[in-house]
Amino acid sequence: QRCPDTSLKHKQAREILQTQNPNMNEGNPNSPKGLEDLERRFVAFNGGVGQEQLKWLRNTLQDARELGQHVIVLSHNPIHPESSNPVCLIWNFQEVLDILRLYNDVVVASFSGHAHKGGYCRDEESGIHFRVVEAALENRPEKTYAMVDVYTDSR
């Protein structure tokens, strides 16, 4: 856990929550109470993608494009608002989604977790698949795994 007194990232996250979630000031930063629709993502058990990570993502996807590669993006939190409950989304999902859409010739799919019930959508604008994998605790023990088959003949 980051030190709340010295971590710049912790300070930035706290500032975001203080401006976006009134429950933060009431001592309950994990509550989406009073937040509507996509605003519900601004809870303390979520987080955002920092500028350094966004730059890395753009650079990595550009490198993949130049090499003629295809990419599957993995993240803890869901990126697409239609792939799961809004309370589980990355705070700055739109910034991340905009980058992925710019590289829709490279990005085939995005897999994430965090939203225990899982979910799926295919982004209409880019054709990218967004799959949220169900949490192990939401499944019977004999079904707590997933397999992905990747083929080179289609997207």
Dump pLDDT digits (tens) for 124-149: 999 999 999 988 777 777 777 778 88
Scored b (16 or more CB within 10 A) or e, 98-108 reads ebbeebeebbb
Which of 77, 83, 71 lies closest to 43 in space, CA to CA? 77
Task: State how far the Cα of 35 lies from the Cα of 50, in Å rounded to an integer.
Answer: 23
Task: State how far the Cα of 69 lies from the Cα of 58, in Å rounded to an integer.
Answer: 14
Percentage with pLDDT > 70 across the chain: 95
Burial of 13 (0-12, 13-18, 19+ CB in 10 A): buried
The CA distances from residue 78 to 44, 49, 54, in Å, are 15, 12, 15
The helix (H) or strand (E) run that includes residue 5 is none
| 28-78 per-position pLDDT tens digit | 999 999 999 999 999 999 999 999 999 999 999 999 999 999 999 999 999
pLDDT at 155: 60
The helix (H) or strand (E) run that includes residue 153 is none
